[in-house]
């Protein structure tokens, strides 16, 4: 962690892990609710397009990807690395949830809907070395109103996305084993 602290003196492992857990759950909820725009501010451009494509595929098939009773059992930082322009942290999450598909009428199609199953996930987060400092109260770049980045990242007044890419950690990879 010392390498991260050289560039981000406010970094704490506990705060970062809480952030990671929230992002993990929000990404799954966005897929389930078919609302990828709600996590646009948490993820890289490439990962966002992958998630949008996944949601579009679900819509075309008229199915809903369900992640019932989702929770994070354990979060472990695997490694940190400083690259030319950014810091990178690889994280392992052990999660538990019911993972299944259902049709638009709520009928079960496939998967596990009777008990939570444990899944192992690897996530990679990046933060620019020359990141912009954020105020404790985050303001919408469009209209200036206070915005809750952890809940949504979309301004409820003007619809502008609060982009974390220049300011904070952004999810660039999410793999489930």
8 Å CB contact between 70 and 100: no
Tell me the three-class secondary structure of 119-165, residue by residue.
EEEEEEEEEECCCCCCCCCCECCCCCCECCCCCCCECCCCCCECCCC
User: Looking at the predicted structure, is the pLDDT value of residue 41 above 80?
Assistant: yes
Question: 2-132+165-176, what's its fold?
Answer: Nuclear Transport Factor 2; Chain: A, (3.10.450)
User: Looking at the predicted structure, is the pLDDT value of residue 13 above 90?
Assistant: yes
Query: What digits encode the pLDDT tens for the residues 43-63?
Result: 999 999 999 999 999 999 999
Percent of the chain surpassing pLDDT 70: 81
Which pLDDT belongs to residue 9? Answer: 87
What are the structure tokens assigned to 9, written together? Answer: 């003196």
**SS3 label, residue 11:** coil
Q: Which residue has the higher pLDDT, 38 or 88?
A: 88
Task: Report which listed range, 9-13, 80-84, 116-120, is most confident.
Answer: 116-120
Mean pLDDT for all residues in the chain: 88
Which pLDDT belongs to residue 67? Answer: 97
Query: What digits encode the pLDDT tens for the residues 141-173?
Result: 567 667 565 555 566 667 666 555 555 899 999
In our burial notation (b when 16+ CB lie closer than 10 A, e otherwise), range 144-162 reads eeebebeebbbbeeeeebb
DSSP H helical ranges for the chain: 2-7, 13-33, 45-60
In the block, tokens 């949008």 appear at: 52
Cα dihedral 164, 165, 166, 167, rounded to 10, equals 40
């Amino acid at each position: 962690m010392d390498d991260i602290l050289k560039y981000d003196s406010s970094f704490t492992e506990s705060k970062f892990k809480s952030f990671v857990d929230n992002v993990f759950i929000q990404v799954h909820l966005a897929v389930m609710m078919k609302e990828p725009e709600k996590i646009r501010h948490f993820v890289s451009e490439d990962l966002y397009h992958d998630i949008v494509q996944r949601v579009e595929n679900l819509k075309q098939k008229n199915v809903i990807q369900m992640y019932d009773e989702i929770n994070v059992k354990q979060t472990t930082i695997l490694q940190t690395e400083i690259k030319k322009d950014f810091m990178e942290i690889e994280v392992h999450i052990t999660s538990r949830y019911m993972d299944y598909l259902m049709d638009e009428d709520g009928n079960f199609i496939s998967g596990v809907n009777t008990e939570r199953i444990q899944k192992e996930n690897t996530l990679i987060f990046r933060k620019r070395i020359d990141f912009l400092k954020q105020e404790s109260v985050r303001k919408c770049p469009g209209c200036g109103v206070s915005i809750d980045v952890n809940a949504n990242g979309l301004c409820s007044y003007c619809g502008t996305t609060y982009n974390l890419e220049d300011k904070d950690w952004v999810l660039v990879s999410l793999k489930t084993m």
